[in-house]
Structure 1
Amino acid sequence: MTATWHTRPPSQWTFFERSLITLGVASPDDPTKPRPKPPVYPHSAPVPVYPIYKMHARIIPWAFAPLLVHHFFTYYTGIVVPVSVATVAYLAYFVVYGVSVFSWNNRMTEKFGTFDGEKERDGVPDVDTTSVAIGLFMVVISRSVIAVPYLYNPEEPLLDWKTIAMLPINTFMFAVAVDFWFYWYHRLMHEVPFLWRFHQKHHTTKHPIAALGAFADHEQEFFDMVGIPILAWLTWRINFATWWISTCYILFIEASGHSGLRGYFQNPTTWYLRWIGAELCLEDHDLHHRRGWKKSGNYGKQTRLWDMIFGTMKERVEGTKDNINWDDPMDEPSPVPTQ
């Protein structure tokens, strides 16, 4: 997992390495402007809380913006946006949104540190910068290119009161459906030796960053990007607007789940599961990576519901119930990283 490519002069970066810099995955290592080191805390230090309302406040404007522009454009002009135009527009917007998510995760970890902070986080390795960059783009491209043409119907209202009223239920249920299929596919890759070879590369990183969610073999990437979303939609069918908003939340959780950000940071669409102890926090997937092949557990990535039901839920180390500081809400980092 050696990552030194970002320390080279920019003139020596490949196109894909420049793309990773643009995405906020890494920053140039300028010795004249050293970046601050993230704070390091012992495991016993209280874990601050990132409130649910702040997560919604961060995601909802991004998720609703293109839908509202699209809706009012058609409402006031009478022009119906063709499927091909909608696909390109939502795809381009999703790429911009993805960049904002990675950048936000980087700023948050710089300010608040990471779980198991004594260990340095892995970067994108020199030998795989091209693969990771392509994988990150494919995460957003594949979902938009496949789902928008299928789910978007120009003849139907884009946003209506029923869609908005049912959002809390539908985003919750869709996330639970995604997690059911992901749980079993993920668990089988750990427990069936033949399938482990498709997942082994992803587990080379023990302390990942947000971008390393795309550090995987092509077979795993295909199922992550295409298979799971399709199976989830067949399980809990939702309209285009609900799918779009759900996908914005899912991308946010998937990226943050690999960041290691040290905070009690729940999934904002499924946090209700906290009432039965099945809510997902960032530490859960971080521990999954640290524990490796056979001992990992925590196979869910949107909830811990299926881990609880099927007996694979693992205890947290730092974010235990008696070590969460509810009186210490995490505030937002500055929009531009401190140099």
Structure 2
Amino acid sequence: MLQTTYTEASYEQPVNAETNVDLQHVPTSNVTYKLRATANWVQKPYEKRNFWERLATFDLASDKCYVVQPQNTNPPPNLNVWRERLWLTVMIAPALIIQALWYYIIPENSFFHTWHPIVAFIFYHLAFVTFIIRLVKHITYYMDVYGTFDEYKRPRDYVPDKYVYRLILSILIYTLARTGGGLILGGYNRYSPPSLGHTISWAFPIKIGIWLITLDFFFYFYHRAVHTFPFLWKYHSKHHSTKHPTPLQSILADDLQEIIEIFLIPLTASLVMPLLVHEFWIAST
């Protein structure tokens, strides 16, 4: 394990105007970047971490992401977008296929033929958690292979010690709300398995596209507001306890912000563009 304690540190990289350098890739003179997070929990051996720290471990990238890297002047890699869409399809489809096959294989006169809403909630919640774990591993793999922006100036930083429990709690609330919200807003019917033209409309790519654009629209104005008005910043500042967060660390927030981001903004987007129950599953993954 990388033996690094993140305290109040700074990295200064002056620019020598007399040298022939590419100023596009070099920070301005005497820029100081402070690492505010204190993350001693990552130095513990795995067996000595508490329950919440062990859960947070799966969000860690490789050790090299947490130290300053040599400057890479190459342009960002061009990753094939269809490759990523194929990856998403492989991750999204199994849950829908499993439920559809269940309804097809189990006889209609069987007590176990339909899925009670509680059963559907547990199944799709576990599927969503599995998807998130795979997504985190997918992203941290790219971090390891391709690097990250600004890594020549400062490394990624860990979630602070005092927020590890809160981070895991926020992730749990997020996954529960997204799963339950999709079933409720989508009008889950235990007698309707996933199928095109029924619980998934033929126009689902357009519907989901409009829903995501609407979601981003409301999120942008909310996010712009908390960075613009000082009286709102106090509700957003915890989110910035890490300067360069991993995907899961970005969920860390105060109570009010969680209510807005996890509940209100998706609800508002759903009022503008309602989705059917299994369309929500596709949109949320």
User: Normalized against structure 2, the TM-score is what?
Assistant: 0.78
Quote the residue 2:189 is aligned against.
153
Return the match for 2:123 from 59, 77, 89. 89
Superposed CA offset, 1:31-81 (max 9, x none): xxxx66259464642111121111111111221111111112112323221
- Would the aligned equivalents of 1:43 and 1:116 in 2 still touch at CA under 8 Å? no
Distance 1:213 1:128, change over 3 A: same
Return the alpha-carbon distance in structure 2 between the equivalents of residues 164 and 75 of structure 1.
20
Runs of 4+ in 1 over 6 A off after TM superposition: none
The alignment's C-alpha RMSD in Å is 2.0
Distance 1:164 1:65, change over 3 A: farther
Return the alpha-carbon distance in structure 2 between the equivalents of residues 247 and 36 of structure 1.
30
1:57 and 2:86 aligned:
yes
Return the alpha-carbon distance in structure 2 between the equivalents of residues 109 and 57 of structure 1.
20
Higher Rg: 2
- Would the aligned equivalents of 2:226 and 2:236 in 1 still touch at CA under 8 Å? yes
Return the alpha-carbon distance in structure 1 between the equivalents of residues 275 and 182 of structure 2.
11
1:98 and 2:125 aligned:
no
Return the alpha-carbon distance in structure 2 between the equivalents of residues 238 and 192 of structure 1.
33
Superposed CA offset, 1:143-188 (max 9, x none): 1123324421223452114736323212211110111111121112
SS at match of 1:56: helix
Aligned residues: 239
Identical counterparts, % of pairs: 26
1:75 and 2:112 aligned:
no
Return the alpha-carbon distance in structure 1 between the equivalents of residues 191 and 243 of structure 2.
48
Return the alpha-carbon distance in structure 2 between the equivalents of residues 72 and 164 of structure 1.
19
Return the alpha-carbon distance in structure 2 between the equivalents of residues 36 and 208 of structure 1.
15
Return the alpha-carbon distance in structure 2 between the equivalents of residues 53 and 41 of structure 1.
31
User: Normalized against structure 1, the TM-score is what?
Assistant: 0.66
- Would the aligned equivalents of 1:87 and 1:149 in 2 still touch at CA under 8 Å? no
Query: Which amino acid letter does the alignment assign opposite residue 2 of structure 1?
Result: T
Query: Which amino acid letter does the alignment assign opposite residue 213 of structure 2?
Result: V
Return the alpha-carbon distance in structure 2 between the equivalents of residues 108 and 214 of structure 1.
20
Return the match for 2:280 from 225, 234, 243. 243
- Would the aligned equivalents of 1:124 and 1:211 in 2 still touch at CA under 8 Å? no
**Gap runs ≥5 in structure 2:** 1-36
**Gap runs ≥5 in structure 1:** 28-34, 249-339
Quote the residue 1:328 is aligned against.
none
1:167 and 2:204 aligned:
yes
Query: Which amino acid letter does the alignment assign opposite residue 139 of structure 2?
Result: N
Return the alpha-carbon distance in structure 2 between the equivalents of residues 11 and 131 of structure 1.
21
- Which gives a bigger RCO, structure 1 or 2 (Cα 8 Å, sep 6+)? 1
The Cα of 1:16 is off from its aligned counterpart by 0.4
Query: Which amino acid letter does the alignment assign opposite residue 194 of structure 2?
Result: L
- Would the aligned equivalents of 1:40 and 1:114 in 2 still touch at CA under 8 Å? no
